[in-house]
Chains A and B, each alone.
Chain A
Amino acid sequence: MTGGQHLTARISDAFWRHPRLLLAVLLTPPLIWLGVIYIGSLLALLVQSFFSIDEFSGLINYQFTLKTYAELLRPSNFDIILRTTLMAASVTIVAAVIAFPIAYYAARYAKGRMKAFFYLGVMLPLWSSYLVKVYAWKLILAKEGILNWAVDGVGASAALNAVLALPVIGGSSLSVSYIGTFLVFLYVWLPFMILPMQAALERVPVNLLEASGDLGGRPSQTLRHVILPLALPGIIAGSIFTFSLTLGDYIIPQIVGSSRRFIGQAVYAHQGTAGNIPLAAAFAVVPIVIMAIYLWVAKRKGAFDAL
């Protein structure tokens, strides 16, 4: 049986006898990529954050210290963290609220052409450049922009001005206020909430909804006790996207919004012009820690029990 076989046949026989060999061959390159390049650089970053900078010479002091992390707690730096986290949380919550009905409709009712239209509608914005979209929003939200013009047209400028007059989140126009930053974040990351949510809702069997109704559950009770718990892993997955993407973004708040910094901008500034690599690294660790805490709490609360 063994003599005179082709090399390819011998190789495939060897794989058949040693199934793990094939797995090893297939997984080694991506694992090297992930392990060395990705995890490795992450660790390097983590190490950097434990160094400090000498304030007089501007040189990095390669001694392990928590001094840089203490810097994060200075009011000016801590404000950046707080601002970014609040923004990420609001974007995530509002995105979840907006995405749910869309995802539910797509999962439960859309068929054939409507489903194709749904996917196209959700994905199409992702096909165009992120920068183009953000600049487009800057124009839309500007004082002379189409949104202001439309609000004027329906005679609601008083309402808009009242919103813009709000402290902190207001501003002289939407494009230079936190509301504007929020709207752009919401728009740009919404598909990342809708798609995992829709996938999760699609996996909730219809007969469970019928069973809930049959047992006396009103639609709102079915939503609360059956649909939400079963779709929760998908909602969490979507929220991981919107939350972490907002935490790390440095372009949107730079183009649309007040001039106050977000974490991404702080990292950009400290590793670039300021040359303070340790502080940049410490800032970069913040989103990682926040996400880790978020996932830990979600797991503790049983968000992944339905998986």
Chain B
Amino acid sequence: MTVAVEFDHVSRHFGAVRAVDDVSIAIEEGGFFAMLGPSGSGKTTCLRLISGFERPTAGHVRIFGENSENVPPNRRPVNTVFQDYALFPHLSVRDNVAYGLMVKGTDRRRRQAAAEDMLALVKLDGYGARKPAELSGGQRQRVALARALVNKPRVLLLDEPLGALDLKLREAMQEELKSLQRALGITFIFVTHDQGEALSMADRVAVFSQGAIVQVGSPQDIYERPHTRFVADFVGSANVLSPELAARAGGPRHWSSLRPEAIALAKPEAARLTGTVTGTRYLGAVNRVTVAVGGDMLTIALPAVQTVPADGAEIGLTWPDGALHTMEAE
């Protein structure tokens, strides 16, 4: 496998702020890679280091093996779908999409035809003559996508591209982006703070915290086998068990994680832990029940079809072997 983008001990400091701090990672060609993290964790700065809008304070960003420090954004084989789309308001949709070809000097007929093809690809045929202001958020998003893809980039960067869309549209676009990536076979690098989005779309996920990558792996790895308490908590709100509680639950005396949906109710004599119900939140498909176990709180997710124990009830908890995951670090 070719490496599309490689970070080699890359740092980007803004004065005293270490936006990106000694990040090393290799992103393989042809995959769907997600950079996941809370705001301010350095994921967007990493994306801007690839597109060339930021330059590293230290280290090297290599794009297809080439050092990119002295290559300006307009000469990099990457294109970006911007967070707020950044469509040119004075140009028609067609001219927006054709912009990349226009600055390369492609003649008018050819670039307009290519733009129409791209608009068809993102299901916006017939919208070419409109201005961006006349489109809905979802349509603008597609124009931004078409505008980036018309250049046939080897890497497509997407900066929180679905953040401004409502839930239904977001889910539809997730599917579409995924199938588009498979059909085109180019590398997608995707920045998001939405763990559900990262898990459902990406082949590989890097979790960022405070300017550093804390874990890289498949969505299953990240979700089921978090390395740190931060990952366990940020990716899907797992229960984080202190070493003492983990030992009482039958695991090694080490920080551990336990997924809410892995926990089931059990008779006290068959339970791995017992506790008192302190509250229930109804979320549609499941009820999230908080249980006090000694001084610790655990969350369990019960299918909504199951009866929920009343507040104050003493209940037993159990889970399948292997569900209690021992974390490598704190």
Binding site for B on A (CB under 8 A): 205, 207-208, 210-218, 221, 225-226, 229-230, 305-306
Contacts and interface: CB of A to CB of B under 8 A. Distances in A.
Contact of A213 (B74, B90, B148): B74
A82 to B, nearest CB: 35
B88 interface: yes
A215 B53 contact: no
A54 B283 CA distance: 94
Contact of A214 (B74, B87, B90, B104): B74
A214 B79 contact: yes
A225 B99 contact: yes
21 contacts: A210-B73, A211-B87, A211-B88, A212-B99, A212-B103, A213-B52, A213-B53, A214-B74, A214-B79, A215-B103, A215-B147, A215-B148, A216-B100, A216-B103, A216-B104, A217-B103, A218-B74, A225-B88, A229-B90, A230-B90, A306-B89
B77 to A, nearest CB: 10
Interface in B232-275: none
A213 B71 CA distance: 12
B307 to A, nearest CB: 52
A213 B79 CA distance: 10
Given A205-B86, A229-B90, A211 B80 contact: yes
Interface in B48-76: 51-53, 72-75
Contacts of A212: 88, 99, 103
Interface in B80-122: 80, 82, 84, 86-90, 99-100, 102-104
Contacts, number: 65
Given A207-B82, A211-B82, A225-B99, A217 B74 contact: yes
A202 B103 CA distance: 24
A214 B73 contact: yes
Given A210-B73, A217-B74, 16 more contacts: A205-B86, A207-B82, A208-B86, A208-B88, A210-B86, A211-B88, A212-B99, A213-B52, A213-B73, A214-B148, A215-B147, A216-B100, A218-B74, A218-B103, A221-B103, A306-B89
B90 A210 contact: no
Contacts of A215: 74, 79, 99-100, 103, 147-148, 151
Contact of B99 (A210, A217, A230, A306): A217
Contacts of A217: 74, 99, 103
B82 A305 contact: no
A210 B79 contact: no
A100 B189 CA distance: 38
Which of B51, B74, B87, B104 has the largest number of chain A CB atoms within 10 A? Answer: B74
B48 to A, nearest CB: 9
Contacts of A230: 89-90
Nearest to B104: A216
Nearest to B75: A216
Closest 3 CB pairs of A and B: A215-B100, A211-B86, A207-B86
A208 to B, nearest CB: 6
A207 B84 CA distance: 9
Nearest to A207: B86
A226 B72 CA distance: 18
Interface string B136-174: 000000000001100100000000000000000000000
Nearest to A229: B90
B74 A216 contact: yes
A13 B247 CA distance: 71
A214 B80 contact: yes
A218 B87 CA distance: 17
Nearest to A232: B90
Contacts of B73: 210, 213-214
A229 B103 CA distance: 15
B151 A210 contact: no
Nearest to A210: B53
Contacts of A216: 74-75, 100, 103-104, 151
Contacts of B53: 210, 213-214
Contact of A306 (B90, B103, B151): B90
Contacts of A221: 103
A212 B102 CA distance: 11
A207 B99 CA distance: 15
Nearest to A220: B103
B137 to A, nearest CB: 16
Contact of B90 (A205, A211, A218, A305): A305
Nearest to B97: A215
A78 B102 CA distance: 45
A129 B51 CA distance: 51
A81 to B, nearest CB: 35
A288 B135 CA distance: 40
